[in-house]
Structure 1
Amino acid sequence: MVRMFLNGTAMSGGAAHHLVGGAEPLAATTTAPRYRFWAVDGTAGYPALEDVGPGGAAVAGELYELDLAHLREVLLPGEPPLLELGVVELADGSSSLAMVLRRGTPATELTDISALASWRRYTS
């Protein structure tokens, strides 16, 4: 089992929540305040985290425990092409897997939503 931080459409109630295979969130939490939070393709798209170090935003999300095979075979193939698997720091200082912005993505394709720090706030 692996810990996975979700902060977008795969969270509970989201359009891609089926990709977590019935797993329930362990906790609602935030990242440490070190991320820029982007919207890819506006409200119809998906969010992306980028580690910018101190001075970034603490982004809201949900922490899940997933079977590694399910993560590899179901969740990851369902993720958009501008995201890749990475490790994020959570508010409590622990680490978790998460989907992060693929390195080298042009900023012209992104909208900075760091001030909101929540995909749900951005899309509501």
Structure 2
Amino acid sequence: MPLMFLNGTAMSGGADHHLVGDAPLVTRTTTAPRYRFHAVGGRYPALEDVGHGGAAVHGEVYDMSYEQLREVLLPGEPDGLELGVIELADGTGSLAMILRREYAQLPPLTDISAQASWRAYQERV
């Protein structure tokens, strides 16, 4: 089954964690330090791969079935995100929702890379 990195409201304790279903938590980790982390319109987080000079963003990795991804998690994601592959801190890859590369109606982005955590950002707003 595919590994899925979550870094927003679908993480454990989050409002959308029910979208994970019974998928087991594999690990709590960070991304490799190659991502800018944004709050999109203040409503949800988004990773943007910038290569060198990014932040290591906190999240959780789940072992999800393709059915859970296709039927439940992905349909619940905002339009400003797309499915991509990211690099984790240990150099392995994982699926994740990333900032849509071209999206004309994307709300304003706030760079929250310094917090590197959606929960930390939410506690500050």
Any gaps of 5 or more consecutive residues in structure 1?
Answer: none
Query: What amino acid is the match of 1:67?
Result: S
1:111 aligns with 2:86: no
1:87 aligns with 2:98: no
1:60-71 to structure 2, matched below 5 A, reads 60-71=58-69
1:44-90 deviations in whole A, cap 9, x for unaligned? Answer: x1100000001100000000000011101110000000000000000
1:13 aligns with 2:13: yes
Which of 50, 75, 78 is the equivalent residue of 1:77? 75
Asked whether the equivalents of residues 30 and 88 of structure 2 are also in contact (C-alpha less than 8 Å), the reply is yes
Tell me what 2:48 maps to: 50
Stretches (4+) displaced over 3 A: 105-108
Number of equivalent positions = 122
1:39 aligns with 2:45: no
User: 2: distance between equivalents of 1:22 and 1:10?
Assistant: 13
Q: Secondary structure at the match of 1:18?
A: helix
User: 2: distance between equivalents of 1:56 and 1:25?
Assistant: 25
Any gaps of 5 or more consecutive residues in structure 2?
Answer: none
What TM-score, normalized to structure 1?
A: 0.94
Q: How far does residue 26 in structure 1 lie from its aligned partner after superposition? A: 1.1
Bigger drift between 67-76 and 92-101 goes to 67-76
What TM-score, normalized to structure 2?
A: 0.93
User: 2: distance between equivalents of 1:109 and 1:72?
Assistant: 28
**Percentage identity across paired residues of the two chains:** 70
